[in-house]
Chain A
Amino acid sequence: MSVQVLSGQLLLGLINGAFYALLSLGLAVIFGVLGIINFAHGAFYMVGAFAAWGLATYLDIGYWPALVLVPLALGLAGMGVERLMLKRLAGLDPLYGLLATFGLALVLEGTFRQVYGSSGQPYPVPEALQGGVNLGFMFLPLYRGWVVAASIVVCLATWLAIERTALGARLRAATERPDMAQALGLNVPLLVTVTFGVAVALAAFAGVMAAPVYQANPLMGSNLIIVVFAVVVIGGMGSLSGAILSGYGLGLAEGLTKVFYPPAANIVVFVIMALVLLVRPAGLFGRVN
């Protein structure tokens, strides 16, 4: 096998991994403060891709502004979802949060399917990132390199903001013991709402970045979110770095599988999940829940 094929598939794997990492990071952050799994996270990613496509198609607003505007707008919408829907489920079995966000995912996906059908809407690669460079051992399309680099930077920045800043310390305190954090004067309800919004914004950011790679497709979210669930089961949600690393790692594993045994590529993450459950039920980075 040639180096080109191997490195090409590994790059594709890293791109998948970039989206897994952004989404599983968001899921882990939401799980930390709300104790629920946001099934609609994939739908927000899909809406992010469509929003970028819509801005370009109807308003002639290009990729770079969309990369800022779409996460902002969807982040605000996410805060609305938290206030209107999830807040009412506080104190109930967290399974209700999963079911409510599942319903929201169906609503979003069903609506977009009704309007746009099941086929994708093509979205162009931004001009500045068209073409590619020859690295000697492989040809690197610029846009793909950008997706991997941008997602690593965003994941790292999010991790640093949570683990190393004063605001992040508040978030960690609210994650660990919300009642105590609030008794010390922190506005925990507001913190939870904003955190949910930021996590949704991460999903929307991933969606905008995905549009030129996968097109905007109503089904892209649910296909992705189930794999991300497996990623989260593998990594455990106790550690944010674990969520990020599992995302990239499993993307790479998928890429490698495509090289060596293509038919298993779309189940390899689930197979790894089954193996992890057998060997280390708490997940690779997780504490026993």
Chain B
Amino acid sequence: MRLSPLTSLTLVALALLLAAPWVVYPAFLMKALCFALFAAAFNLLLGYAGLLSFGHAAFFGGAAYVTAHAAKVWGWPPELAILGGTLAAAALGLAMGALAIRRQGIYFAMTTLALAQMLFFLFLQAPFTGGEDGIQGVPQGRLLGLIDLGQPTDAYYAVLAIAALGHLALYRIVHSPFGQVLKAVRDNEARARSLGYEVDRYKLTAFVLSATLAGLAGGTKALVFQIATLTDVQWQMSGEVVLMTLLGGIGTVAGPAVGAFLSVGLESALATSGLPVPAVIGAVFIACVLVFRRGLVGEIGARLKIRL
């Protein structure tokens, strides 16, 4: 049987990830996987619809709050709490997206950033989020009544399954007829419009799908790390997911995940170095934009002339 480069690489990556907890701390892996899913969801919008959202922290962090609140205060089981957070992100995505797609390009980016900042202030003031402390000590529970999320290794495989399913969903969306229309909109909006496509509906659908999966990532992260805080809804978080995607490769299937692992790895390496982490991240950002716009996966794909 001959496998495509992408399929074989996916299988290799899965094998590595299945073996990884024997080599790397599960906590690091879970964090990286949550961000990988977050970045991949973001990339659906930037890479395939050409829309730069600078407000995706709202969905990631918003879902984290809802999941944490549902699990801790309402006592929901983990799968329902995550589902609740994900649906909340979807609803938020619908509202924010409907406003933001009324403007294009650079205005779209500024609009999403401003709307996300408004949500940040709302979360800061809302009584249920716990203000500066956030929601701490979220009970992990047993996923589907079976998997004890309190056990690091078990929790890791659960997160891996969620991230893999999320990626699979994204892959299917991108390669569906819907995904083809999105790319047509990205490449030439006026042309897509003149061909009779309702461009705004496609953009909004992509926005909601992206927000939903970003919410899935945020809700999962809140549950396995037992905490939801303002960090996850701040504008810096919106910027970080842009960087992960850029670092790995905008518009590639594997890029955002690779970028997320690089970025989380870089941050944990820097944490003990005494260097100012945001400043280093900013410098990486500038370097990527100036000389490395295709990102790691995009660059490798272009060198080897394969689609990754």
Contact = CB atoms under 8 A, between A and B. Distances in A.
A100 B114 contact: no
Contact of A95 (B105, B113, B236, B288): B105
B14 interface: no
Contacts of B100: 277
A113 B290 contact: no
A60 B278 CA distance: 31
A96 B110 contact: no
A263 B125 contact: yes
B289 A99 contact: yes
Contacts of B285: 99-100, 102-103, 106
B105 A289 contact: yes
B83 interface: no
Contact of B246 (A85, A94, A99, A111): A99
Given A88-B290, A99-B289, A229-B114, A289 B283 contact: no
A233 B286 CA distance: 25
Nearest to B109: A98
B99 interface: yes
Report the interface size class on chain B: 35 or more
Given A85-B286, A267-B121, A226 B281 contact: no
Given A107-B279, A114-B279, A233-B111, A277 B290 contact: no
B10 to A, nearest CB: 28
Interface in A225-271: 226-227, 229-230, 232-233, 263, 266-267, 269-271
Given A233-B114, A274-B115, A110 B286 contact: no
B158 interface: no
Interface residues of A, number: 44
Given A88-B290, A266-B121, A102 B110 contact: no
A104 B282 contact: yes
Contacts of A229: 110, 113-114
B235 interface: yes
A222 interface: yes
A226 B117 contact: yes
A184 interface: no
Interface string A80-91: 000001001100
Contacts of B191: none
Interface of B: 52, 54, 99-100, 102-107, 109-111, 113-115, 117-118, 121-122, 125, 235-236, 239, 242, 246, 276-286, 288-290, 293
29 contacts: A31-B106, A37-B110, A95-B106, A100-B286, A103-B282, A103-B285, A103-B288, A104-B286, A106-B239, A107-B279, A107-B282, A107-B283, A109-B282, A110-B278, A110-B280, A222-B235, A226-B114, A227-B114, A229-B113, A229-B114, A230-B110, A230-B114, A233-B103, A270-B114, A273-B111, A274-B99, A277-B100, A277-B102, A278-B102
Interface of A: 31, 36-37, 85, 88-89, 92, 94-96, 98-100, 102-111, 113-114, 222, 226-227, 229-230, 232-233, 263, 266-267, 269-271, 273-274, 277-278, 281, 289
